[in-house]
Amino acid sequence: MDNYSIYDLTFEQLTAWVLEHGEKKFRAAQIWDWLYVKHASDFDEMTNLSGKSIRLLKEHFTIGTLKERIAQKAKDGTTKFLFQLTDGNLIETVLMPHEYGLSVCVTSQVGCNIGCSFCASGLLRKNRDLTSGEMVEQLVAIQKRLDREENGERVGHVVVMGIGEPFDNFDHVMDFLRIINDQKGLAIGARHITVSTSGIVPKIYQFADIDWQINLAISLHAPNNELRSRIMKINRAYPIEKLMEAVDYYLKKTNRRVTFEYIMLKGINDHKEEALQLAALLQNKRHLVFVNLIPYNPVEEHSDYQRSEEEAVAAFYGTLQKKGINAAVRKEFGTDIDAACGQLRSKQIKKAKVRRS
Ligand code: SAH
Ligand code: SF4
């Protein structure tokens, strides 16, 4: 067995594989349908395939390797999953019930090397990238769980905002997006998918050059280089001017709106001055951008950061509004379960270390 996951393949790759192995082209469509429409868990379920085809698939691929270790459901219906990968690594995925439907927040790497100073995921350096199949499986595993509950619910939105920096795992993330966007499969519409980046500038250009309608979110968090470099060291490599040039290129190329994420950190980036700077920074593209003000989820290890006071958030929002910048304060999900993304995983790893020592 080659031990590749069948979920790693885009439809084009599966078709090429099928042809290479002497099968008819329509086999690929049949297999795809079993994987992404019927949500099969085993090759043996694929009853319209010949025994020989099933054996061939089994020889080359695995199907479904994620193990659900924990599922925490919050009062608002948000469910946070801790999955174990075949090599024992742990990742998190979150299912969120929005008024417009179910959305899943997907992890793209085991840990993160970008090391933003406020983030739980960055505490543990990157162990490895996820394969495209491991990202696809996060969705498939959750969809299968929903199927079992039999209330006809379907995941319709995806955000790549879990652990990791998606643009540091660019090729796998792009394949993942192609797979979940495929109309004959999971069919998650491009406009319903958002990828969030800390601002890896060359990859923003590359992303803009792909001809699709997937949304881009930029984690800005500070409106000037001095402050941004202090809280996000990636800003030293890709300062705000370069980031904005890349955003301008993206806007021109795609005609899509860009979302800027801005975590509200008490006494750090939440003053009127920063609101005015942010408004000035975005003024020339204000019809094309949207600012998401994000309540900070406190992380034990980063005790120097606290969530901004409600009045500070309201005042910041008000300043942006007055300057004509579209903004919203992000709704929080699952506040009664482990809050920040990356926390459930880092807690489990800490527990395991305590058990071992
Ligand atoms: N690496 C990508 C995507 C994953 S992080 C990125 O940084 O954009 C997804 C979002 O969660 C980012 O905007 C990130 O800054 C934010 N985030 C990280 N830690 C957080 C915390 N403790 N509370 C609230 N948001 C946080
Ligand atoms: Fe990585 Fe994003 Fe966390 Fe920064 S905020 S450390 S880029 S996951």
Both tokens assigned to 36: 């992404």
For the Cβ of 114 lying below 6 angstroms from any atom of ligand 2, the answer is yes
Residue 210 is given by DSSP the state: S
Residues 296-312: tens digit of each pLDDT: 988 888 888 999 999 99
Ligand 2 within 6 A of 121 CB?
A: yes
Q: How far apart are CA 18 and CA 308, in angstroms?
A: 55
| Ligand 2 lined by 297 (C-beta under 6 Å) | no
Q: What is the pLDDT of residue 209?
A: 97
d(CA 64, CA 133): 9
For the cut 70, the answer to whether the pLDDT of residue 143 exceeds it is: yes
Which protein residues are within 6 Å of ligand 1, measured from CB? 116, 118-120, 161, 165, 196-198, 219, 261, 263, 294, 296-297, 299, 340
Strand partners, 195: 160, 216
Q: Is 341 a catalytic residue?
A: yes
pLDDT score for 344: 57
The Å distance, Cα 119 to ligand 1 centre, comes to 6
Global confidence as pTM: 0.95
Which atom of ligand 1 is closest in space to residue 342's alpha carbon?
A: 19
Q: Decide if 74 contacts 333 (C-beta within 8 A).
A: yes
Ligand nearest the Cα of residue 218 is 1
**The length of the chain, given as a count of residues:** 357
CB of 116 within 6 A of ligand 2: the answer is yes
Confidence of residue 333 (pLDDT cuts 50, 70, 90): confident
164 Cα nearest atom in ligand 2? 8
Say which of 23, 92, 137, 274 is annotated catalytic.
92
Nearest-Å Rg of the Cα atoms of the chain is 21
Ligand 1 centre distance from Cα of residue 161 (Å)? 7
Provide the phi-psi class of 325: left if phi over 0, else alpha when psi is between -120 and 50, else beta: beta
Query: 92 an active-site residue?
Result: yes
Tens-place pLDDT, residues 217-270 = 999 999 999 999 999 999 999 999 999 999 999 999 999 999 999 999 999 999
| d(CA 91, ligand 1 centre) in Å | 15
Contact 30, 160 (CB under 8 A): no
Given 105, 112, 119, 341, the catalytic residue: 341
Pick the closest to residue 259 from 191, 306, 309 (CA basis): 191
Helix (H) or strand (E) holding 229: helix 225-231
Helix ranges (H only) for 41-131 are 51-60
Mean pLDDT across 205-212: 95
